[in-house]
A and B are shown apart, each in its own frame.
Chain A
């Protein structure tokens, strides 16, 4: 059974720091992995989607990597800003299913 874990559960950093959020999954047989952000009381906003055949994806200050064999993905945020404060969720699409399995998220607070 696929399980997704995100560490740390919460993180506070001063503005301007580069930071890394971690996502691990137990079954490497995945189709893709997607990173989302969720602002309080809102739905999820897609940040990056990495196919199983890819190693990384970049969008602006965000870079997501995927190491399928070790069951890990990282989301790198460069030069963090207060507007980056949100909960970040990763989700994997398991092989043989259309379901996404979500981690419980990392609550990020960037201090001005």
Chain B
């Protein structure tokens, strides 16, 4: 595929359940970002991966949120014990490398609804 893909596109879950969101970056892109977009708000940075370096987790809102990136490619964002305030669109982006001049390319997002 040519672009960033995310799955599922929509996820409805009950409060207290765990969810996993998946991101497949563009092939060859070493940098991967997760963002959250809540209704009426801007994009909120969550976590950044660059190659095999330790990720920048400084944007994760609580310890219920975690992410991993296996083999430098696919990434999974996990939210444990979901709360209603976790409802948002979760967007993934990748770029060719971590150097400062490269464009980010975004996936279509996963809309998470916590009932």
A interface residues with partner B (beta carbon < 8 Å): 4, 31-32, 34, 36, 41-46, 49, 51, 89, 91, 93, 97-105
B18 to chain A, nearest CB (A): 24
Q: Are A98 and B59 in contact (CB under 8 A)?
A: no
Q: Which of B40, B45, B104 contacts A46 (CB 8 A)?
A: B104
Q: Are A43 and B91 in contact (CB under 8 A)?
A: yes
Q: Are B98 and A98 in contact (CB under 8 A)?
A: yes
- B109 on the A face (CB < 8 A): yes
Q: Are A98 and B101 in contact (CB under 8 A)?
A: no
Q: Which of B43, B45, B108 contacts A42 (CB 8 A)?
A: B108
Q: Which of A46, A98, A101, A103 contacts B103 (CB 8 A)?
A: A46
Alpha-carbon distance A49/B95, docked complex (angstroms) = 13
A13 to chain B, nearest CB (A): 22
A25 to chain B, nearest CB (A): 13
With most chain B CB atoms within 10 A of its CB, the pick from A42, A44, A46, A105 is A44
Q: Which of A43, A49, A97, A103 contacts B109 (CB 8 A)?
A: A43
Q: Are B56 and A98 in contact (CB under 8 A)?
A: yes
Known contacts A43-B109, A98-B31, A100-B33: does B45 contact A51 (CB below 8 Å)? no
Task: Name the interface residues of B68-115: CB closer than 8 Å to any CB of A.
Answer: 91, 93, 98, 100-101, 103-109, 111
Alpha-carbon distance A23/B58, docked complex (angstroms) = 25
